[in-house]
Amino acid sequence: MLTSRTLTFVKRSAAIGAVALATASLQPVAAHAAPAPIVGGTPAAQNEFPFMVHLSMGCGGALYKKDIVLTAAHCVEFTGNDTSITATAGVVDLNAPGAIKVKSKKVLTAPGYNGKGKDWALIKLARPIDRPTLKIATNTRYNKGTFTIAGWGDTKENAGTGSDKLLKAKVPFISDTKCKQHYGNRLVAGQEICAGYPRGGIDTCQGDSGGPMFRKDDSGAWLQVGIVSWGDGCARPGVPGVYTEVSKFASAISRAAATL
């Protein structure tokens, strides 16, 4: 996503949502910035990441359950009934004839979300999507190593167009200490996890918000460790992407899903 590195920063969605908290924010309830469809990414193969979901407000997400999408809080406006969102799944090309499109029924934003930290939300779908779900991390064991990112967002900073094709890339874990060298106290340690290359060049971006950051667990299954949240610009040298640390909120997400 776009943001001045010294003045303002915005979330990494292309959605129009709730009132922004930053004076020059381009995203809903944004007090931060976010990463690309994947800047520096390559095309994903059909069914490579079958849990991926594109959301019509300009965000991404993953199937937490067959009828529930896990995404970012800044992608939605409130908690309650909402039939305005269209979830597209089953394809890497959004224009492909086999696309599965399902309307939303309800949304639930993380309790206490105010634009900083706690950037997760659930979208209840009008009917289940018969695609594999993505398991989420319940502890910090896998919050290290190299992660996979995927999305339909911008391929470069300020592009503002997004991508019809799902792109993917790999990014390495960045410690809170190193991440704070750029973001300082803007980083909510313990609730957010950083990833990226010191040289830049590969990152999520505007339009990727809400999508998963994931890796393989010991059994070889995909496991979600992060949610695309924010960052200063896209793929800039020395500027990591910031993701919601899923394991921190795994219990809260499970409880919330049970109420939908």
CA angle (75, 35, 27) in 5-degree steps: 35
CATH fold for the domain made of 52-133+250-259: Thrombin, subunit H (2.40.10)
CB-based contact 62:86 (threshold 8 Å): no
Residue 19 CB: number of other CB atoms within 10 A?
10
Average pLDDT along the chain? 87
What confidence score (pLDDT) does residue 14 get? 54
| Poorest-pLDDT segment among 21-25, 186-190, 194-198, 248-252 | 21-25
pLDDT of amino acid 77: 75
| Least confident residue range of 141-145, 155-159, 164-168, 199-203 | 155-159
Please give the structure tokens belonging to residue 121: 């939300």
pLDDT value at position 12?
66
- pLDDT value at 49 more than 90: yes
At residue 5, the pLDDT reads 18
For residue range 97-134, what is the model confidence (pLDDT) as tens digits? 999 999 999 999 999 999 999 999 999 999 999 999 99
Parallel/antiparallel/unpaired status of strands 100-109 and 80-81: antiparallel
Q: Is the pLDDT of residue 176 over 50?
A: yes
Cβ neighbors of 79 (< 8 A, separation 6 or more) are 107, 108, 109
- Condensed to tens digits (0 to 9), the pLDDT of residues 239-260 reads 999 999 999 999 999 999 999 9
Question: Measured between alpha carbons, how far is 225 from 254 in angstroms, rounded to an integer?
Answer: 15
Q: Phi-psi bin for 23: left (phi > 0), alpha (psi -120 to 50), beta? A: alpha
Per-residue pLDDT band for 20 (boundaries 50, 70, 90) equals very low
pTM of the model: 0.88
Q: Please state, for a pLDDT cut of 70, what percent of the chain lies above it.
A: 86
Q: What is the band of 160 on the pLDDT scale with cuts at 50, 70, 90?
A: confident
Instruction: Using the predicted structure, report yes or no on whether residue 4 has a pLDDT greater than 90.
Output: no
Choice among 7-11, 188-192, 206-210, 211-215 with the minimum mean pLDDT: 7-11
What is the domain partition of the chain in residue ranges?
Answer: 52-133+250-259
Specify the range with the lowest mean pLDDT, choosing from 12-21, 60-69, 195-204. 12-21
Of 146, 74, 69, whose CA–CA distance to 106 is shortest? 69
- 3-state DSSP assignment of residue 166: coil
224-248 in b/e form (b: 16+ CB < 10 A) is bbbbbbbbbbbbbeebbbbbbbbbb
Which residue did the predictor score with more confidence, 71 or 17? 71
CA distances from 9 to 22, 42, 77, 116 (A): 7, 26, 19, 12
- Position 13 scores a pLDDT of 60
Give the residue numbers annotated as catalytic, written as ranges.
Answer: 74, 119, 209
At 9 the pLDDT is: 40
> What per-residue confidence (pLDDT) applies to 32?
39
